[in-house]
Amino acid sequence: MGTGGVTMESGKRLGSFSLERLHFLVVDDNKHMRALVKSILYALGCKDVLEAGDGADAFRELRHYAADIIIADWNMQPLDGIDFVRLVRTGKDSPNPYVPIIMLTGHTELHRVQEARDAGVHEFLAKPISAKALYSRIRSIVERPRSFIRTRTYFGPDRRRKQVEYKGKERRKDRQQARVVDEPKAPRPEPRQEEAPLADEADAGLSQDEVEALLGG
C-alpha cells in the first residue's frame, strides 16, 4: 500500500529482522518529512522514535536520549546535516560520537556522497525513500557493524567497510562495542583534488547501488 507517496512493503517481504527494540532519532527541519520517516519506521515495527527540528536540537536531544540510529536530512537550517554529523563525531562535548547515522538527501551527486562519507555517515539514502530501502540500510548497520577509524583528519566508521587487519592500538567503547583503530602515522592519502571527475560526471546523480559501492558496500 502507499502512504504519503512512499512505497510501503509488507513485513514478510521485508524479512523477519526486528526493529522493535531500536531507538531512532529523526532529524529534519521539514515537519512533513519527519512525519513521513516516522510513519515508515512505525510501519516497520519501531516503537521508539524521537524527532528533532534541526541539527542543533538533535545534538541537545542526544544528551538525554540514547539513540541507536540517527536518520538526518542533509538540507537543514541553521545547522545542516553534514555539520551535525561532524559535530556528533568530533565535538568535544558529543554525547555519543559512535552512533550510526543515515543521511537523507534529494541529491546524489558524486561529490555529495563523498562529502557525507568523509563526514562520518554510515549510510546514504536518496529521496524519495521507500520502506524497503530504509529497512535495508538499518539492517546493514545492525548486522554489519563497522570499526571506527581515527586519523589526523578523520574520525568515524571505516569508510572501506571491509574487514582489514590493523597494527595500531585498539580500544572498545563499552556501550556500542565498537572498535576504534588508530591508523599508522602516515595514513593513506586522500585522492588529489585535480583527480576529481569532470563537471558533467560530478553533477550526475548516482543510483543507490552506485552510492553503496562508493561507501564500500
Taking the alpha carbons of 152, 158, 164, 170 in that order, is the dihedral positive or negative? positive
Per-residue confidence (pLDDT) for residue 203, from 0 to 100: 52
Number of domains present in the structure of the chain:
1
**Separation of alpha carbons 49 and 52, rounded Å:** 10
Does residue 188 lie within any of the structural domains? no
Domain around 34: 19-145
pTM of the entire structure? 0.71
What's the rounded mean pLDDT across residues 25-39?
96
pLDDT at residue 207, as a whole number: 62
According to the model, what pLDDT value does residue 78 have? 87
Residue 27 in any domain: the answer is: yes
The residues facing 69 across adjacent strands are 24
128 assigned to some structural domain: yes
In DSSP terms, 149 is beta-bridged to 156, 181
The rounded radius of gyration (Å) of the Cα atoms in the chain is 17
Task: Identify whether 49 is part of a domain.
Answer: yes
pLDDT higher than threshold 70 for residue 210: no
Cα-Cα-Cα-Cα dihedral of 146, 104, 39, 95, to 10°? 50
CATH number, domain at 70?
Answer: 3.40.50.2300
Evaluate if residue 213 carries a pLDDT over 80.
no
pLDDT, tens digit, 9 for 90 and up, residues 160-174? 754 333 333 333 343
For strands 148-150 and 178-182, give the pairing.
parallel
* H helix intervals, 91-185: 110-119, 131-143
With bands split at pLDDT 50, 70 and 90, how would you rate the model's confidence at 102? very high
> Is residue 107 one of the residues assigned to a domain?
yes
Residue 9 counted as domain residue:
no
pLDDT band at 87 (very low <50, low <70, confident <90, very high): very high
Residue 123 belongs to a domain: yes
In a domain, 45, yes or no: yes
